[in-house]
Amino acid sequence: MIKYLKKLLYILPANKVDLLFAAFIFVFTSCIAALGIGIIGPFIALANDFSVIDTMPILARVRELTGIEQPNQFVAAIGLFAIAVFLCKTITSWATQVFITRFSDRQQRLLIIRMANGYLNAP
């Protein structure tokens, strides 16, 4: 596995920082997607039964911090938060796809230039 990675890093003309940034973006996008998926179940439970607000300490604390008194307004606020998370997930996924496209195009260009130079400079 390590030999394979060494060969891959030798062939790729990418800067090591670019590869680390790409890995960070992949992990960040996955975390945002997991958060978006994980927020659906609790939101549905909260929308079905407003008493969940008082039984879950974290929701009671959030309600206290926001100062929202009405349970239906609190559920609506949580719904807006869920929508914001999904919007962030969508934007992050789009930005990741743009990054992947630009990164791979740049790598292809640099690899072609590197190979062409090698062929032209060969004896």
pLDDT for the residue numbered 14: 66
CB 89 within 8 A of CB 36: yes
Length of the chain as a residue count: 123
Segments making up each domain of the chain, as ranges: 20-120
Residue whose pair of structure tokens reads 């914001």 in the numeric block: 84
pLDDT for the residue numbered 84: 93
pLDDT for the residue numbered 96: 92
Which residues are CB-contacts of 63 (< 8 A; sequence separation ≥ 6)? 53, 74
Sequence-separated contacts (24+) of 31-38 with Cβ below 8 Å: 32/85, 32/88, 32/89, 32/92, 33/89, 33/93, 35/85, 35/89, 36/82, 36/85, 36/86, 36/89
CB 29 within 8 A of CB 92: yes
CA R_g for the chain: 24
Residue whose C-alpha is closest to residue 42's, from 75, 10, 70, 90: 75
pLDDT for the residue numbered 27: 92
Question: pTM of the predicted model, to two decimals?
Answer: 0.73
How far is the C-alpha of 27 from the C-alpha of 81, rounded, in Å? Answer: 22
pLDDT for the residue numbered 13: 67
Q: Tell me the pLDDT of the chain (123 aa) as tens digits.
A: 788 777 767 777 667 788 888 889 989 999 999 998 988 888 898 889 888 888 888 888 888 898 888 888 989 999 999 999 999 999 999 999 999 999 889 888 988 998 898 888 887
pLDDT for the residue numbered 55: 86
